[in-house]
Structure 1
C-alpha cells in the first residue's frame, strides 16, 4: 500500500483538490491512471488525461448520450449521469458508423465503429498547469470533413497536441453522426417528426459542452473559434448562418468548403424523397406496419451500406450529378435554415458580426486525372463534360477550357481536374467570400494554399515521388495540425508552411484577426481584409493571402476570368440536363442485391458493382458519372486514411 501524507494548512482550494487527485492516482488502479495524468472535472465526469512534454490530452469524453434505443435520429441528449471517472488517457479511435469505403482507406486496425460515438478530444498546452493556472486560453474547435459520410475527430492526423502547444490554445476535436444515421428526415402519422440535420445538432451539442466545461481546461468560453475542412468547412458555413449556433462561437475558418454543394441542399420534401429511397431499399416501405420501427430494427451496418446506391439513385432521379458526392447531408429544414446558404449570406441574413476566413487549395481536384488510365483528347474531354454537366453546358464548358486551359501535353485529363476545381471550390468560395464581405458588419479574409504535399494516388499509379506533389483537397490539414510525418518527404519548406498556418490560425483563435501578433512563429506577411476596392496599403482589388514557401504573399483577383465565366452560366443551375444514356428504374420485386450496370466506352471498361439490399434498384450509369462518384468517394476517404 502507498503511503501519502498531506499538509493542508495555508493551502488554496485548488491545491487541496489537487492533493486528493494525486492521492487517487497513486492508490487507484494503475491501468486507468498513469502517474503523469491530469484530472479535470466535467459535466460528463472526472476526466483523467495524459501529459507529455507537448500537451495534456484527454481522449474520448462523451458530450452526449449514445444515440441508441429510441434515440437514433433524434436530437443529441446531454449526459445526465456523469461517470465517476473517465479514462481519457488513450485514443481508442472511436468513430461513428461510416459509409462503406471501396478504397479501404479508412481501414484502421485501431478504429472502432460504434453508435456510441458522440465523443470529443481536448488538448491543452503542456506548459499549462491545469490545477494551478489562472490562464484563460482561446479554443480552437475543429469539425472534421469526409463528405458527411466518412471521417472522425479521433484520427491521428488531427491529434491536437502539437497545434495546442504551438498556438497556446485549447484544441477540441469531435465526432458527429454521419450518412443516413446523421442526416435523415422521417415523417410518419402518429409519430414524432424527425426534421434531420442530426449531425449538425451533434456539433452544436459539442459546442454547448465546450461552453460549460472548457474553463476547467484553462479555456475561454467567450473565444471559441470553429474551423473545419471540406464537409467540416461546410458545417462551419452553416453555423455562421444558424441563429442557434450564434452564441456558441466567436469566429470561423472554412478550409476548402465544397460550396457548390450548397446549391443542392434539399428542402424537407426533397429530404423525405431521399428517406423514401432508403426505406424502399431496406424493405421498409408502406407495406410494413411502421416505417420508423422497421428502420430502427435495422443494424447501423445495414443502413450505412445503402449510402452509395442511394447517392447514385438520387443523382439520377433529382437530375443533378452533385448528389453523387453528397445525398445524406444538411437540409433546409424551414426553421433553422430557411434558404440556400449563399442566398442567406448575400442578403445579410447570417451571423455577420463574426469575422470569417474562407479559402481553398490551388489544385483541389488535380488528382482526378489519376482515376482515368488513358490520356484524353479534346473529343473525349467534350464527351466527359457532357456526361457530367449535360449536353448544353458540357459543350459551353469545353469550349471555354479549350480556349483558356489547353494542356501543354495535349492530355485533357489535367484540364478536367482544373475545371472541376474551379466549379466545386475556387469560384463558389470566392462568390461566398464576396457576398460575406459586402454584407458583413465585421471582417472577411480570403486565402489560397499553394504548398504541395505528396499525392499517394499519383505514386500508386506510377508517378515519381518528386513529381507527385500537389496542393490538393485536404492537403493542408496535416500542416494545420502539425502532424506531418518526419520522413524523407518532410523538408524545411513544410515547416515554414506549418508555421504560417500556426501563426495565422492561432492569431485568429486569440483575437479573430489573423495577423494580430498574439502567435508569432515567423515573420510572415500581414493578411489584409477581403475588400472589393482593395485593402489599405495594397494595390489591386479583392486582395487575398497566398500561403506557401518560402513566404506567404498578398495577391489580388484570384482566377477572375474563369470565375466570371462560371458566374455567367450560373454554374449550370437550376437545370442539370441528363444524358440520354442514363436511365433509372426501381424494381418492385424482392432481391438480395442492387445492381449498378455501367455502360462502357470503347476505350475502357468498368466492372459492375453489387450492394446488398432488400429491394431491387437498377441504375444504368455512364462511365463518367460512375467515375466521378468513385473519385469523390476517394477524395473524401483520402482525408482520413
Structure 2
C-alpha cells in the first residue's frame, strides 16, 4: 500500500461492531478488515469437526486491523504477513473501495471470493502474494480472502459409524461457511451478495469446481474463475477414504481398540480418541507431502458431494446459467518434480542433464506411473482394457525434438506431460462439461505463457519455463508492489489480467483485449466444442493473441479418456 494507515473505519454486522483501517493504493482509498472470524475456533470439542458459525455477540468493537494466524500446515517458505500458525485460524479478510453511507446512495460492488491453493497441504490467505488491495483498487471490486483448515485438520475421515469422529471434507465445509458469511454480511462492507465471483488456483481451483457441483454451495455465487486445476474422477468414496485414513492412523501409532486381530480398515472409538488427542505436529505427520490416490483427499460424503462429482457434472447436476473463466499456464507440472516426484533428476537449482533418449525413456516410465495411479484408485469404475500408451505419450510430448535439443526443454516437456494430466486437462474438461451441459452458461478461457525477467519464483526455477503459480503474482498485482523486481512489461500484463478478472466479476465477460471482444466457447456440427482462448504473452503475437483449442492434442486425443 502507499503508506502507513492513519485512521480506522467501523462496520456493524449482526454480531457487533468491526473496526478496520483505511489505506490507499495508487491514490485509491480502501477500507481494509483483517482477521474477521467466520466460524468458532475449531479447537477442543470442535476439533476435526465441521465448522460452527459464530453465534455470539461482542460488546466491544472487534479489532480487524491485524493479519490473522495461518492454519496449521507444512510450511515450505516464510513469506507470510503473519508467520504464526494456530488451529484457531478460521478468519477472513476484506478490501473494499467504498462502504455504504446512510446519507448517500452508494452502489454495491461485485465481490471476488478467493480460495488459495497449496494442495490442501500448505498455503494460507496470509501469504504475502494474496493481499487483495491491488485487485480491489484497480478493479473497483470488493475482495475477500480467508483461511480454511488443511491436511489432517481439514480432511480426516473416520467413518460413518461414530458420531464422535471426523466427518471428512472439513476444508470444503470451512469454505462453504466462509462463503455463507459473505452472502449474509458483505453488503455492510459495500459488496453485492448477488454478484459473487468465486476464484481459486490449483487446490483452490479444484475446490471452486466442487462448489459448482455441490448442492450446499452452488446457489451462493454467480460466477467462477478456475485457474490451473479442476476435479477429476479420482474423488474418494467413503470406504476408500476411511481405509486411507485408517492406514495413516496406524502409521502414526493410533492402532488401538481392535481386539479381533483382523484388519477391517474401520476406525474404532479408541482410534478416534487417539487421533483427537494428538498434538498438531503429530496430526500433520498423518498426511505426508505426497499425492493421495484420491483427489486431494476430498471424498464423496453424501452431503457436500452426494455423488461422484464427475458423474454429477456429466449428468447436468451442477450450477446452471453461470459465467465461467478458466485458465492454465504452459507448464503446470514442473514445479512438482523437485518437491515430490524426482528431486534428483529435477533438482530446482541443479537438475541433471537429460538427453533425447533419456527423455523418451523417462516419458514412458512416467506414463507407467500414471497408469499405476489409475489402477490403485480403488473406488474408480473399471476402465476395461484402456491403458496409457507410453509410446504415444512420448511421441506427443517429444514431437519436434531431437538430440540437438537442450536438456531443459526435455525436462519442461516432462513437466508439461504430468501437469496436463493432473491440472491442465482436468481444467479444460470441466469447462467443456459446463458449456455442453448448459447452453445459457458462458465459458471463457485464457492461456498464460509470459516468462519474465524477475528470476526464480517460489515454486518455479528458470529451467522450468512458464510454470504453475506464475500467473498468481501477476493477478494479485505484485509488479505494482515490487517495482525494484518487476518492470514495465510485467506491469502491463498484470494490469491486463486484473482488468480481465475484475471486468468478468462486473459483467460476466472478460475485458476486451487486442481491440476485440473475448469469444466464448461454442459448438458446431452438433457436438464439437470450439474453445477460443486469449494468450497472455510477453510479446504480442504477429496476428492476434486469440486462438482456438489450445492443447487439443494433449487433452482431447490423449488424457480425456482417463479423466472421464
Q: TM-score range by the shorter chain?
A: 0.7 to 0.9
Q: Does 1:357 align with 2:325?
A: yes
Residue 555 of structure 1 and its aligned partner are, at CA, apart by: 0.7
- Judge conservation of contact 1:453–1:469 (CA < 8 Å) in 2: no
- Judge conservation of contact 2:202–2:423 (CA < 8 Å) in 1: no
The aligned residue for residue 65 of structure 1 is 40
Choose which of 252, 255, 262 in structure 2 pairs with 1:285. 255
The aligned residue for residue 288 of structure 2 is 308
SS in 2 for 1:561: helix
Residues 231/329 of structure 1: CA separation in 2 closer, same or farther (3 Å cut): same
Tell me how far apart the structure 2 counterparts of residues 451 and 87 of structure 1 sit (CA, whole Å).
40
**Comparing 338-347 with 428-437, which one deviates more in the overlay?**
338-347
The aligned residue for residue 375 of structure 1 is 353
- Judge conservation of contact 2:326–2:427 (CA < 8 Å) in 1: yes
- Judge conservation of contact 1:364–1:421 (CA < 8 Å) in 2: yes
Residue 86 of structure 1 and its aligned partner are, at CA, apart by: 1.5
Tell me how far apart the structure 2 counterparts of residues 448 and 374 of structure 1 sit (CA, whole Å).
29
The aligned residue for residue 595 of structure 1 is none
Choose which of 344, 349, 363 in structure 2 pairs with 1:385. 363
- Normalising by the residue count of structure 2, what TM-score does the alignment of the two structures yield? 0.82
Residue 143 of structure 1 and its aligned partner are, at CA, apart by: 0.4
Tell me how far apart the structure 2 counterparts of residues 527 and 460 of structure 1 sit (CA, whole Å).
30
Deviations 1:464-509 (A, max 9, x none): xxx6694311111122121234334412221221221122211111
Residue 108 of structure 1 and its aligned partner are, at CA, apart by: 4.8
Q: Does 1:294 align with 2:292?
A: no
The aligned residue for residue 88 of structure 1 is 64
Deviations 1:130-160 (A, max 9, x none): 6655231111100000001111112221111
Residues 397/332 of structure 1: CA separation in 2 closer, same or farther (3 Å cut): same
> Looking at CA atoms only, which structure, 1 or 2, has the larger radius of gyration?
1
Q: Does 1:120 align with 2:95?
A: no
Q: Does 1:504 align with 2:500?
A: yes
- Normalising by the residue count of structure 1, what TM-score does the alignment of the two structures yield? 0.73
The aligned residue for residue 564 of structure 1 is 556
SS in 1 for 2:316: coil
**Comparing 224-233 with 480-489, which one deviates more in the overlay?**
480-489
Tell me how far apart the structure 1 counterparts of residues 435 and 367 of structure 2 sit (CA, whole Å).
30
Tell me how far apart the structure 1 counterparts of residues 94 and 515 of structure 2 sit (CA, whole Å).
29
Q: Does 1:153 align with 2:122?
A: no
Q: Does 1:421 align with 2:419?
A: yes
Residues 388/363 of structure 1: CA separation in 2 closer, same or farther (3 Å cut): closer
- Judge conservation of contact 2:80–2:126 (CA < 8 Å) in 1: no
Structure 1: where are the runs of 5+ without partners? 1-32, 312-321, 535-539, 575-641
Tell me how far apart the structure 2 counterparts of residues 348 and 459 of structure 1 sit (CA, whole Å).
38
Alignment of 1:149-548 (within 5 A): 149-187=121-159, 189=161, 191-192=163-164, 194-257=166-229, 259=230, 262-287=232-257, 290-308=270-288, 311=290, 323=292, 328-367=296-335, 368=337, 369-371=346-348, 373-390=351-368, 393-406=389-402, 408-411=404-407, 412-440=410-438, 441-453=440-452, 457=456, 470-484=465-479, 485-515=481-511, 525-533=516-524, 541-548=530-537
Deviations 1:394-439 (A, max 9, x none): 3442244334555752533232122223222333322222222111
The aligned residue for residue 629 of structure 1 is none
Tell me how far apart the structure 1 counterparts of residues 404 and 63 of structure 2 sit (CA, whole Å).
57
SS in 2 for 1:113: coil
Tell me how far apart the structure 1 counterparts of residues 327 and 123 of structure 2 sit (CA, whole Å).
21
Residue 180 of structure 1 and its aligned partner are, at CA, apart by: 1.0
Q: Does 1:553 align with 2:554?
A: no
Tell me how far apart the structure 2 counterparts of residues 63 and 270 of structure 1 sit (CA, whole Å).
31
Deviations 1:153-205 (A, max 9, x none): 12221111121111111110010000111011112755346431100110110
Residue 352 of structure 1 and its aligned partner are, at CA, apart by: 2.5
Residues 197/207 of structure 1: CA separation in 2 closer, same or farther (3 Å cut): same
Tell me how far apart the structure 1 counterparts of residues 390 and 225 of structure 2 sit (CA, whole Å).
33
Tell me how far apart the structure 1 counterparts of residues 72 and 136 of structure 2 sit (CA, whole Å).
28
